[in-house]
Amino acid sequence: MRHPGSIQEVVENGLCIGCGLCEALTENLNMKLTERGVLRPQGTLRRDEEIQLLSACPGAVAASHIETGSQMDEVWGPWQKLVMAWSAEPDVRFQASTGGVLTALGRYALDAGLAEFVLHAGVHATDPLRTDWVISDTAEEVLDNSGSRYGPVSVLAGLKAALARNAPFVLIAKPCDISAARLLAISDTRMADNCVAMLTMVCGGLSDLTKTREAVAGAGVAEKDVAEFRYRGFGTPGPHRITLKNGRYIDIDYNSMWSRDEQGWRIQQRCKICADPIGEAADVAVSDTWPGGKPAADDPGHNGLIIRTGRGADLVQAATEAGFLTTAETLDARQFDEWQPHNVRKKRAIQPRCLGLDDQGQPSPEWRGLRVPELAENLESFKREREGTAQRAANGAFREGSNLKLIETPVED
């Protein structure tokens, strides 16, 4: 299979997820919201910048991070411990997305002086429907920026500011972002030296902003009247809440927003061929724990943790001992299958989907250590997945315009 040879090829073949690395590693690319409601790089780049970008860009490559001594599950990847946990602080557990584990680990790292700040995601400064990268310097700010936000966000654009601080930090981001960050750390010592923990969530996909806008319009609200749009939290999962400038609010039930078939999620094309929706490059990946992948009702919040590295295990243990985290029973990888049926289905379907792209002469990312061919062995729907993706590609589903210009500069070997 062919992989993209340029950032333009990544974007034009629907493989960009808008991670923001383009903005962090170049002088003249910026992440911009397109009319379709996705974030894409725009501007000019030099070939030397492009070479560095291509070594980590999630549209070009994604990789598992396997430490010596890890156990390996065919579906769930490398792991050292699998446990159930939640924030030991009741208000954090209530306010956060699930059990507040990501928030708890960020808060502990700041409190213990392991990190000076957390780079993660929060509400956009001027548009409450949008999401932006944020730097939290205090434990209070980490809590303020808790909660899942399903719309587009370029967390890695914040690496420009984060790396300029030359100080220890925690990164909380989606699995594709974490793969890029881990790969960047191979070539960038600022990243290797300063990023003390890479934390992620298991990820069903990133919606276009159109999904959020439709929800607001569907509730009969004009965007200009929205003061706050919250996706979940304040309970698990808690409601999607549209708070108006006049103080009134409208709640949308989680299941009515997400329980339709996956077509209704409006996720980006890169997500549909994502070989790592489970954070195989992270120190710790956390998930929801609802049987069948859907909440039956609100509950107090329980995260399933896939602790993948020694650093992740140390962080979880120290946060537990310091009273930030409650760690409960040991889990079995097959419990994650039960909680994440959509992600298991996707992991198994990546090989035929990428072959479908190949059939149409379109590239797909290089998957390193992600067991893509092995997971598709004996897949009953192999032919259907391949032909379906080929058909969608033929219909132009993976074609996008780009607003990029390469400035040719001589590169020294």
Could you give the string, one character per residue 200-219, with x where binding to ligand SF4 holds by CB under 6 A and - elsewhere? Answer: ---x-xx-------------
Of residues 22 and 162, the one with the C-beta less far from ligand SF4:
22
Is 41 a residue that touches ligand SF4 (CB under 6 A)?
yes
Measured CA to CA, the distance from residue 366 to residue 3 in angstroms comes to: 6
Q: What residue 172 binds from ligand FAD, ligand SF4, none (CB within 5 to 8 A, per partner kind)?
A: ligand FAD
Tokens (6 digits) for 214:
């439709």
CA atoms 210, 215, 220, 222: torsion sign = negative
18 lines the binding site for ligand SF4 (CB under 6 A): yes
Nearest to 120 by CA among 132, 108, 112, 128: 132
Closer residue to ligand FAD, CB minimum distance, 61 or 102: 102
Q: What's the token pair of residue 323?
A: 């009273």
What pairs with residue 244 in β-bridges? 226
Bridge partners, residue 132, by sequence:
122
Beta pairing partners, 40: 32
**220: burial class by Cβ within 10 Å (0-12, 13-18, 19+)?**
exposed
Integer angstrom CA distances of residue 16 from 132, 209, 360? 17, 15, 18
Find the binder of ligand SF4 among 14, 58, 237, 352 (CB under 6 A). Answer: 58
Q: Are 315 and 324 in contact (CB under 8 A)?
A: no
Going by their DSSP bridges, the two strands 81-87 and 303-307 should be labelled as antiparallel
Identify which of residues 287 and 309 has a Cβ nearer to ligand FAD in the complex.
287
Task: Verify binding: residue 147, ligand SF4, rule CB under 6 A.
Answer: no
Site of tokens 């980490």: 142
Note whether 257 binds ligand FAD by CB under 6 A: no
Instruction: Please tell me whether residue 38 binds ligand FAD under the rule CB under 6 A.
Output: no
Q: Which residues pair with 1 in a beta bridge?
A: none
Is residue 59 a contact residue for ligand SF4 (CB under 6 A)? yes
CA separation for the pair 155, 105 (Å, rounded): 18
270 burial type by CB count under 10 A (0-12 exposed, 13-18 middle, 19+ buried): buried
Which residue, 60 or 139, has its beta carbon nearer to ligand SF4? Answer: 60
Q: Which of residues 106-125 bind ligand FAD (CB under 6 A)?
A: 120-122
CB of 25 to ligand SF4, least distance (A): 8
Q: State the minimum distance, in angstroms, from the CB of residue 339 to ligand FAD.
A: 6
130 binds, among ligand FAD, ligand SF4, none (CB under 5 to 8 A by kind): none
Closest residue to ligand FAD, judged by C-beta, is: 204
53 binds ligand SF4 (CB under 6 A): yes
Q: Does 19 bind ligand SF4 (CB under 6 A)?
A: yes
C-beta neighbour count of 50 within 10 angstroms: 23
Residue 174 in contact with ligand SF4, rule: CB under 6 A = yes
Residue 102 CB, shortest distance to ligand FAD, in Å, is: 4
86 vs 104: CA distance, rounded Å: 8
Q: How far apart are CA 115 and CA 171, in angstroms?
A: 10
Site string for ligand FAD, 141-180 (x = CB under 6 A): ----xxxxxx--x-x----------------xxx------
**Binding partner of residue 78 among ligand FAD, ligand SF4, none, CB under 5 to 8 Å per kind?**
none
Stated as kind and residue range, the H or E segment containing 15 is: none
Site string for ligand SF4, 339-378 (x = CB under 6 A): ----------------------------------------
What's the gap between Cα 371 and its chain centre? 20
Interface residues with ligand FAD (CB under 6 A) are: 96-103, 120-122, 131, 145-150, 153, 155, 172-174, 201-204, 206, 286-288, 303, 340, 343
Interface residues with ligand SF4 (CB under 6 A) are: 7, 10-11, 16-22, 41, 53, 57-59, 174-176, 203, 205-206, 270-271, 274, 277
